[in-house]
């Protein structure tokens, strides 16, 4: 744990992407890869890859490349996705249901254990086996099940108050899909804000030259 404290945010932000490529290599039965080949696949330079991975002690062997499996396991440990996290999802509208039905939570070492909504016609349903509870039962459920992560798919206008409620009830982190940005220093637990618009804007930028 001490080791990773000194790793820059920029490197950490790249790790899930490394992990994604390694998973794909493993699924293609590739067992070893050189930094050069990995770089070509990922659109990076070999030296950047060597530098990034050396932050974690470096798992490559000169002339032999990296063991895909060893590197995957090591990244799982570093990213903390080996220790199964329990998640609840708030807001089982279209986006919430899309995540429950289609998103591969287990890929990230996360297990959804319950969903919550205010709509009477949605409460009581289940999606991929995950039951939807009434929002008023949130605290009772949380004190019993102790979830780690809350996935916020509610309207942005309710994001701040709901986050506060979740933190008070002991949530450890918030995955925020609402259009309201939640700040870690304001709500007091780690947050990842998913901003669809950032990537659409990046795309608009890229097609300008076309």
Contact positions vs a second copy (CB under 8 A): 1, 12-13, 15-17, 19-20, 24, 78-81, 85, 93-95, 97-99, 101-105, 107-110, 148-149, 172-175, 179, 181, 189-192, 194-210
CA–CA distance, 103 with 99 (Å, rounded to integer): 5
Of the pair 5, 144, the CB lying nearest a second copy is at: 5
Give the tokens for residue 9: 């945010």
**CB < 8 Å & 24+ apart, contacts of 21-29:** 22/68, 22/71, 22/72, 22/75, 23/72, 23/107, 25/68, 26/68, 26/69, 26/72
Of the pair 57, 203, the CB lying nearest a second copy is at: 203
Instruction: For residue 101, give the 3-state DSSP assignment.
Output: helix
CA–CA distance, 99 with 52 (Å, rounded to integer): 31
Q: Measured from the CB of residue 100, what is the shortest distance to a second copy in angstroms?
A: 9
Instruction: For residue 152, give the 3-state DSSP assignment.
Output: strand
Of the pair 35, 178, the CB lying nearest a second copy is at: 178
Of the pair 61, 98, the CB lying nearest a second copy is at: 98
């Amino acid at each position: 744990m001490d080791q990773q404290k000194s790793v820059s945010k920029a490197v950490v932000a790249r790790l899930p992407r490394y992990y994604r490529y390694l998973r794909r290599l493993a699924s293609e039965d590739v067992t070893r890869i050189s930094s050069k080949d990995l770089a070509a696949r990922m659109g990076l330079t070999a030296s950047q890859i060597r530098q990034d991975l050396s932050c974690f002690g470096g798992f490559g062997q000169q002339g032999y490349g990296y063991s895909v499996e060893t590197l995957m396991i090591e990244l799982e440990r570093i990213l903390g996705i080996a220790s199964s996290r329990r998640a609840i999802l708030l807001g089982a509208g279209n986006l919430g249901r899309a995540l429950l039905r289609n998103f591969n939570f287990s890929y990230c070492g996360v297990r959804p254990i319950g969903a919550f909504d205010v709509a009477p016609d949605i409460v009581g349903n289940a999606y991929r086996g995950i039951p939807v509870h009434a929002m008023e039962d949130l605290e009772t459920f949380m004190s019993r099940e102790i979830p780690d992560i809350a996935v916020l798919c509610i309207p942005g206008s309710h994001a701040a108050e709901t986050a506060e409620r979740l933190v008070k009830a002991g949530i450890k982190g918030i995955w925020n899909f609402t259009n309201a940005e939640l700040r870690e220093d304001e709500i007091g637990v780690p947050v990842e804000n998913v901003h669809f618009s950032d990537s659409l804007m990046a795309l608009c930028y890229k097609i300008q030259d076309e």
